[in-house]
Amino acid sequence: MTGRRRCRVLSLSALLLGCSGRGDVPALAPVALTGAGATFPYPLYRAWFAEYGRRASVRINYFSVGSGEGIRLLESGETDFGASDRLVPPAPDARPASCARIAVPTVRGPIAIAYSVPQSDTGTPLRFDAALLASIFAGRVTRWDDPAVRALNPHAALPSLAITPVHRGRGSGTSRIFGEFLATSARWAYTPRDTGEVRWPTGVTAEGNEGMAMEVKVRQGAIGYMELAYARQNRLPVAAIAARDGFHTPGTSGDAYPIRARTWLVLDPVRTSPDRGAALVAFILWAMHEGAEQARALEYIPVPPDTVARYDSILRAIDFRACATTAAASATAAASARAP
């Protein structure tokens, strides 16, 4: 873990949530769970963890460190679950299908394009299409009064100010989704199909959606991409993005808005104890059902009922004790194979 990420993990340790054991969630033995990963759903997860902590004897500590780091921490056994904005492949080790790693879809949501441009607040959001955003993030359009920007925004008094693209570092699921959107334009060639890891040719780097929002807020002339809740919390203007039927802003256009992300919670039955696994499943089931209202309030889109029903069955079928036995047997066999 890098120094900057380690500092963030330490600062987020203050988010350990208390619980009362009251409410309509069946009481379990007191347990603390640890998760890490995607920053995109963190505003919602924070609300979920707090509410669930008030209802059940479970506290959940979550480190918002990015999708790639979250899965690495899960695989190394440092957390009980991971969170990712990209679908995680099956675990590479051999194991029964009944003990496979499971990625549970939680919500979808828009990735907003936020900006900080003086004199542009006319009550009408700035407009961008994929080609213009690709040109900006590739460093070909470098000023806010560039003719390409003015062509889409004749209503705006755009200043003669340098544009500063702000992007995430490596391992960001949000970056991959935004990079895929940029790649719909022929002007973008920095998202390799084999890895999906964006190679940013210009701009400044921010850590997480939180850092992205703050960087755009304090840096005059900046533009960046982030989950909508972060833009709302920081009172940043968000752009209207071109789709097939016109320009749409996030949060008001439903599926018409063209830059959207899905996110998953990832659990691994062979890397957690039966008690902690049962507590994690109970939380996820609660979140998929009772947590939908909170998701909508924060402008996320809950997964559809048929998906909820499917994962209800998958989660309830996990036998954590059998998986723990499988993991122990595999570890013993591996140790024997290494012995001289």
Q: How many residues does the chain have?
A: 340
Give the pLDDT of residue 87.
84
User: Per-residue pLDDT for 327 more than 80?
Assistant: no
Give the pLDDT of residue 325.
84
Give the pLDDT of residue 165.
98
pLDDT band at 216 (very low <50, low <70, confident <90, very high): very high
Q: What is the pLDDT of residues 228-238, one digit of tens each?
A: 999 999 999 99
What φ, ψ does residue 246 adopt, rounded to 5°?
120, -165
User: Per-residue pLDDT for 194 more than 80?
Assistant: no
User: Per-residue pLDDT for 155 more than 60?
Assistant: yes
Give the pLDDT of residue 326.
72
User: Per-residue pLDDT for 114 more than 80?
Assistant: yes
Give the helix/strand (H/E) hosting 329.
helix 320-338
User: Per-residue pLDDT for 64 more than 80?
Assistant: yes
Give the pLDDT of residue 86.
87
**Residue 140, number of CB atoms within 10 A of its CB:** 14
Q: Which of 269, 314, 270, 326 is nearest to 288 (CA)?
A: 314
Whole-prediction pTM? 0.81
Give the helix/strand (H/E) hosting 105.
strand 102-115
In percent, the amount of the chain with pLDDT more than 70 equals: 85
Q: What is the pLDDT of residues 170-191, one digit of tens each?
A: 888 899 999 999 999 999 999 9
Give the pLDDT of residue 14.
33
The C-alpha atoms of residue 170 and residue 263 are separated, in whole angstroms, by: 17
Backbone angle region of 166, left / alpha / beta, with phi > 0 → left and psi within -120 to 50 → alpha: beta
Burial grade of 219 (CB within 10 A; 0-12, 13-18, 19 or more): middle
- The rounded mean pLDDT for the chain is 86
Give the pLDDT of residue 96.
87
The β-bridge partners of 107 are: 263, 302
pLDDT band at 286 (very low <50, low <70, confident <90, very high): very high
Give the pLDDT of residue 23.
40
Give the pLDDT of residue 122.
61
User: Per-residue pLDDT for 10 more than 50?
Assistant: no
pLDDT band at 335 (very low <50, low <70, confident <90, very high): very low
In percent, the amount of the chain with pLDDT more than 90 equals: 73
Minimum mean pLDDT among 5-19, 66-80, 204-218: which range?
5-19
Tokens 């022929």: give the residue. Answer: 186
Q: Which of 77, 65, 60, 62 is nearest to 18 (CA)?
A: 60
Give the pLDDT of residue 15.
34
Tokens 């402008």: give the residue. Answer: 299
Give the pLDDT of residue 2.
43
Average pLDDT for residues 294-320, to the nearest whole number? 95
The angle formed by the CA atoms of residues 91, 92 and 93, to the nearest 5 degrees, is: 95
Q: What is the pLDDT of residues 256-279, one digit of tens each?
A: 999 999 999 999 999 888 999 999
User: Per-residue pLDDT for 298 more than 50?
Assistant: yes
